[in-house]
Amino acid sequence: MIFGRPKHETDERIRLIRLAFKTDADLRERLWNRQSGTCVICRVGLPYSNDPFLVVDHTHPIVQYAVSPLSIERAIELANDEDNLAIVHSDCNSAKNAWDLEELHEAIKRGEVTLSEPNIYTTEQIEAEKIRRASISSIGGRKHVESGHITRMNELPQTKEAKRAVGRIAHKSGHLARIRELPQSKEAQRKSGRIQGHISVESGHLARIRELPQSKEAQRKGGLIQGHISVESGRITALGRRQGRKNAENGHCARIAGTAAHTRWHHNRGIIKQGCNFCEVTRPTAA
């Protein structure tokens, strides 16, 4: 047991919190600016935020949230909140380990923990490390895909639950809405929608969906609701007026009126009247 939770449960919660943790260049830059370019552990200046030898650390360690009575969704939200993150030297991060940041500083004062001077890397070393990590990531990613490891991981119940938890957090925090409003997101959605639309039509998927009983019922209800909305908003009336003006301007009304009069007074009575354009069209020709 660890702090009241079984070890296997704590380890699983730690895994889910780590799985939900995402970092990018923008986050690293915001943390670097918030810290005024200083490591919060050793309090020595940091190089640029994109330095590969810098890491993003949880100031209150993940294990504290993993063993807490919080739900996993809340634990993920608090542990990975930006206020609980800091950008630090990788050496300092290794020394901190599972210490809480404030407790670590107290331990340093008491002489229980000693920090070594952070390494200083040259520009060539930094660029070489970036290339090395990118290569490892690319190779590892391909191996995981080809071996089916990614597919197996995605099918695990705990992975699906973690994804749902992350989705709920992103929705509640408004992060999802902000991402959707980005110009690049809208363009990607437009392209993806068009491609998926073609695929759905060509594969017959769209036709099959339309034939489902629930789809037909939804369409019926949707039509009724939209009909009420269109009537109450005056849209039907406005459409009728616009179409009426078009019919009058292009002569459609006049043609309909003439056809109706011919049908009533001539055709229904078997009369062929000279001078009636419609009678002339229907007049039998001599053999």
50-79 per-position pLDDT tens digit: 888 899 999 999 999 999 999 999 999 999
Closest to 20 in 3D by CA, of 81, 61, 71:
81
Q: Does 157 fall in a domain?
A: no
Which helix (H) or strand (E) segment holds residue 237: the answer is helix 235-249
Q: Does 214 fall in a domain?
A: no
Question: What pLDDT, on the 0 to 100 scale, is given for residue 283?
Answer: 58
Residue 85 DSSP code: E
Judgement on whether residues 128 and 242 belong to the same structural domain of the protein: no
Boundary of a domain, candidates 122, 150, 178: 150
Distance in angstroms (rounded) separating the CA atoms of residues 22 and 80: 8
Boundary of a domain, candidates 116, 133, 150: 150
Judgement on whether residues 146 and 249 belong to the same structural domain of the protein: no
Average pLDDT, the chain: 84
Judgement on whether residues 144 and 278 belong to the same structural domain of the protein: no
Q: Are 159 and 165 in contact (CB under 8 A)?
A: no
Q: Does 226 fall in a domain?
A: no
**216 phi, psi to nearest 5 deg:** -65, -40
Whether the predicted model's global pTM rises above the 0.75 cut: no
Question: What pLDDT, on the 0 to 100 scale, is given for residue 1?
Answer: 37
Which residue range(s) make up the domain with 270? 236-282
Count Cβ atoms below 10 Å from residue 58 Cβ, excluding itself: 23
Q: Are 86 and 31 in contact (CB under 8 A)?
A: yes
Q: Does 221 fall in a domain?
A: no
Q: Greatest CA separation found in the chain?
A: 123
**271 phi, psi to nearest 5 deg:** -105, 135
Closest to 90 in 3D by CA, of 138, 132, 42:
42
Q: Does 36 fall in a domain?
A: yes
Q: Does 82 fall in a domain?
A: yes
Question: What pLDDT, on the 0 to 100 scale, is given for residue 64?
Answer: 92
List, for the chain, all residue ranges whose pLDDT scores fall below the cut of 50.
1-2, 286-287
Judgement on whether residues 40 and 144 belong to the same structural domain of the protein: yes
Number of domains comprising the chain: 2
Q: What angle do CA 244, 252, 243 make, to 5 degrees?
A: 20
Q: Does 119 fall in a domain?
A: yes
Boundary of a domain, candidates 103, 122, 150: 150
Q: Does 111 fall in a domain?
A: yes
